[in-house]
Amino acid sequence: MANAVVPTSWNPGFIEELLPSSQQVSLLYHISYLCLAKFPKLERLLRMRAVETQLLFGSSEAVMLKCVGTSQNLVSSLFPMLIQAVEKNKPVLAIKYLEKARTWITEIIRDVEKMADRYDALNKDVATTTSDVITEKKETDKQLGQLSKDIATMMETVKKLEAELSKTTAQLTETEKKIDAKNSELQNLVRAAAAQSSSLAVLAALVPFIGPLLKALYESRSAAAVAQNIKVLESQLIQLNAEKTSLKQQQWNLQVQIIDWRMKLAKLQLDKDAIPEPTHLGEVQRYLSKIQTILVQLKGFWENVYSLLGNIKDKTFVGEDLIDQPDFKELFVKSIQTATQIWEAFGLSCGKAVNIFRVQSKDAYRFLEIDPSSLSPAVWQKEYDSVKGKLQELKVFDDGIILAIQS
């Protein structure tokens, strides 16, 4: 019977990270677009990058739709066929469908990889645009002469907040590294225990998520031997995650303050006909990188699923007679039924990601339909305040995930 291939840990709720990142990107583009209203050349460059991002989100929606479809195919096609193959002792049929499923997954891996590469290319383009803004700003500032004392004071305040943010971010990164290490230790312990249990080995081979395995292990008789070690690791993870949540809240509070001061600074610079600092574009790059990282992790996830299915094929249906054993049949069917529920939940998560990208590709960039230089001062200020308010409505909740407050 198949032993579990240990995959990269992956949370089906990954869309909770996609939502704020995609929202941040569009809002930061919007505020940058408004701030470049008086500078047509830079406005055109920014519009180009924003349109590219909008199109990329549309393509990302298509890739996530494929993830939804593949998850549904595993549930509606592969798993029932595996049950049928085991019940009717037809290993050749099982191998055929496992290979078919691996073909679906190969296509997803290729598509997700291409999408991650496109985010990387877009990020470089945004960096080039940022550089262009900085170059243009230097020329404009020379013509304007010495900036006001108010602007210099604001810039100093922003620098202090950024230094504090950098320190908090470093602490958060260190805490996340500790969490990753503990998660890896917990995962290895749980999967090793599952591999030794006849009732859990099949489930471990079918399900690339650690949570359901941990639950199943606690409910089985085999949990006693490792339960204490698992509880110690869980306790350490709870403490580390509490620290992470606190640091993320602190980080976000600082980010909100910096956004507020940068907006005040940008408005003051605009009033003096100076090009604002392109700091918001730097933030765009950061959130694009976050989405790219999620896609890279998604690619790794599907690569591990590909390996898991290959392991099932090679160790369960090739060269062994285990499918002739009644006890194994019952165990196998039960494990697939459990795996079906887990994969259905994953499909729903992918469906939510589809909706996130759909909204961002269709609705979030409507501001590009309006020429910001054509807005009256009052309308410009109203639009500016609206975007500022939306940015400040993003909060960090107790689970440490940045989410948008739903109106």
Higher pLDDT, 269 or 135: 135
- Let me know: does 70 contact 403? Beta carbons within 8 Å: no
Q: Mean pLDDT throughout 82-111?
A: 87
Domain boundaries, the chain: 15-404
Mutual angle of helices 91-144 and 40-73, in 10-degree steps: 170
* 348-358 pLDDT, tens digit each: 888 888 988 99
* 100-130 pLDDT, tens digit each: 889 999 999 999 999 999 999 999 999 988 8
Q: Following DSSP, what letter does each residue of 128-160 receive, concatenated? A: HHHHHHHHHHHHHHHHH-SPPHHHHHHHHHHHH
Provide the 10 A C-beta neighbour count for residue 296: 17
Provide the 10 A C-beta neighbour count for residue 112: 25
Q: Mean pLDDT throughout 357-381?
A: 87
Which CA distances in Å does 167 have to 171, 254, 255, 290, 372? Answer: 6, 11, 13, 20, 36
| pLDDT at residue 199, as a whole number | 67
Looking up tokens 């009732």 gives: 199
Question: What would the CATH number be for the domain defined by 15-404?
Answer: 1.20.1170
Q: Give the confidence band of 168 by pLDDT, cuts at 50, 70, 90.
A: very high
* 302-326 pLDDT, tens digit each: 888 888 888 777 766 755 555 566 6
Provide the 10 A C-beta neighbour count for residue 149: 8
Q: Mean pLDDT throughout 278-293?
A: 82
306 conformational bin, left if phi > 0, alpha if psi -120 to 50, beta if neither: alpha
* 49-62 pLDDT, tens digit each: 999 999 999 999 99
Element (H, E) at 190: helix 149-195
E strands, 1-50, are none
- Confidence check: pLDDT of 144 > 60: no
Give the least confident one: 18-22, 120-124, 230-234, 325-329: 325-329
Q: Following DSSP, what letter does each residue of 2-56 receive, concatenated? A: PPPP-PPP--TTTHHHHHHHHHHHHHHHHHHHHHTTT-HHHHHHHHHHHHHHHHH
| pLDDT at residue 198, as a whole number | 66
Torsion, Cα 262 265 267 271, to 10 degrees, reads: -160
CA distance 199 to 196: 9
| pLDDT at residue 163, as a whole number | 93
Q: Mean pLDDT throughout 21-49?
A: 86
Q: Mean pLDDT throughout 245-265?
A: 83
Structure tokens at 276: 């604002």
The amino acid at residue 230 is I
